[in-house]
Structure 1
Amino acid sequence: MTEKTRPQGPASYFPSIEKKYGQPISHWLGLLAARPGMKHMELVGWLKTEHGLGHGHANALVAHHLASGSGMLGP
């Protein structure tokens, strides 16, 4: 992987998340999508408490999820 093709931002955590927790990123994003209307830190706390993720991994997943627009709070 070259510097130009290496994932940036939250996605840079994805390979280690998949390796450590044994689930594909789509699994985690699906769980987040099923919890609409929650704020960033609420989702981070939920992943940490209910699924045992570390803070950095949970934060990266939530940041990616919210940035994709699938978890945006309504008007």
Structure 2
Amino acid sequence: MNGTSVKGPASYFPSIEKKYGRPVAEWQQLITDSPLTRHMELVAWLKSEYGLGHGHANALVAHNLAARGK
């Protein structure tokens, strides 16, 4: 290990951007702007509205809520 590998939710970001064609910053803004606030509500919303897989939606939401201190 070289100490530079990305761990946690952010490790999913390159594959999210490649698969869904949007930068992570755009996904994060969508989550921040959503009236939803609970983790699983946001995950379900990303899955139903944007077709994200569960793991990808979960990673985006977890990272967003952690960054907001929630």
TM-score, L = length of structure 1: 0.86
Is 1:9 the equivalent of 2:19? no
Sequence identity (%) = 61
Question: How far apart, in 1, do the equivalents of 2:16 and 2:35 lie?
Answer: 22
* CA offset digits 1:14-60 (Å, max 9, x no partner): 00000000010001000001014520000000000000000000000
How many pairs align? 70
| Alignment correspondent of 2:40 | 41
Question: How far apart, in 1, do the equivalents of 2:55 and 2:15 lie?
Answer: 11
Question: How far apart, in 2, do the equivalents of 1:30 and 1:59 lie?
Answer: 15
Question: Which letter does structure 2 place at the counterpart of 1:10?
Answer: P
Stretches of 4+ aligned residues off by more than 6 angstroms: none
Residue pair 2:10, 2:59 contacting (<8 A) in 1 also: yes
Question: Higher helix share goes to which structure?
Answer: 2
Question: How far apart, in 1, do the equivalents of 2:41 and 2:28 lie?
Answer: 15
Residue pair 2:31, 2:42 contacting (<8 A) in 1 also: yes
Gaps of 5+ in 1: none
Task: State the SS of the aligned residue for 2:68.
Answer: coil
RMSD between superposed Cα atoms in Å: 1.5
1:69 shift after superposition: 1.0
| Alignment correspondent of 1:59 | 58
